[in-house]
Amino acid sequence: MTWLETLINTEIIDRIAADPRTTADNFLGYPKQHVFADVLQGGRRIIEVPLSLETPAGEIVSLSVTDQALLYARYNQKGHLHELMHAFRQLIGTWRGEISILDIGCGPATGGLALASVVGPAQAFRYFGCDRSIAMLDLGGRLMAKARELDGIHRASEIRFVPCLNDVDFGNRRQVTTLGSGPINLLN
């Protein structure tokens, strides 16, 4: 198993499975087959406030922003990870220079994890994740920290998360060519 698979299993799948509200039919108390449409709005919901939703069976279920970010990762992140890994393989190719990525609408650091997986632990990179959802930034920070613990990321890599592009400090101007990309998921 790769470090990325271990990470997703332990930090997302096992965490949801171990939650006392999770049952055979529910994730965190909400019916599994309705999470994608109702809770995540197909991945378009911006996770900023707790939700109180009525299930199709008429039960009221409360979900914190942390719950919603976890469910986003459980339902949407895996597919995006594979797409971004494919994109990074094409973008980076045989490039051996410095790599800096600005990930706009980063969610739970999906682009950062995909990048780390593609470049491998032998190459350092700079990753700036920007998202207006603090719950997404929190989960992204947690996942990237765990990825470091699993030795998936070069220790000299610089990883920052910000809620606003104005807060990104790219550091001093460098006399090197930098490969830059934004996996763009900015919806509005």
Ligand X SMILES: C[S@@+](CC[C@H](N)C(=O)[O-])C[C@H]1O[C@@H](n2cnc3c(N)ncnc32)[C@H](O)[C@@H]1O
> How does 49-81 read in b/e, with b if 16+ C-beta sit within 10 Å?
eebeeeeeeeeebebebebbbbbbbbbbbbebb
* Closest separation in Å from C-beta 126 to ligand X: 17
Q: Residue with CB nearest ligand X?
A: 107
Q: Kindly tell me which of 105 and 152 has the beta carbon lying closer to ligand X.
A: 105
* 3-class SS string, the chain: CCHHHHHHHHHHHHHHHHCCCCCCCEECCEEHHHHHHHHCHHHCCCCCCCEEEECCCCCEEEECHHHHHHHHHHHHHHHHHHHHHHHHHHHHCCCCCEEEEEEECCCCCHHHHHHHHHHCCCCCCEEEEECCCHHHHHHHHHHHHHHHHCCCCCCCCEEEEECCHHHCCCCCCCCCCEECCCCCCCCC
Residue 60: what residue type?
I
Q: What is the footprint of ligand X within residues 101-120 (CB under 6 A)?
A: 105-107, 110-111
Q: Kindly tell me which of 29 and 107 has the beta carbon lying closer to ligand X.
A: 107
66 belongs to the binding site for ligand X (CB under 6 A):
no
Q: What is the footprint of ligand X within residues 75-94 (CB under 6 A)?
A: 76-77, 80
* Closest separation in Å from C-beta 175 to ligand X: 31
Q: Kindly tell me which of 100 and 133 has the beta carbon lying closer to ligand X.
A: 133
38 belongs to the binding site for ligand X (CB under 6 A):
no
With CB under 6 A as the contact rule, the residue among 16, 46, 91, 134 that binds ligand X is 46
The number of residues that bind ligand X (CB under 6 A) is: 20
Q: What is the footprint of ligand X within residues 129-148 (CB under 6 A)?
A: 130-133, 136
121 belongs to the binding site for ligand X (CB under 6 A):
no
Name the segment binding ligand X (CB under 6 A); options: 3-11, 52-60, 90-98, 124-132: 124-132
Positions in the binding site for ligand X (CB under 6 A): 43, 46, 76-77, 80, 105-107, 110-111, 130-133, 136, 183, 185-188
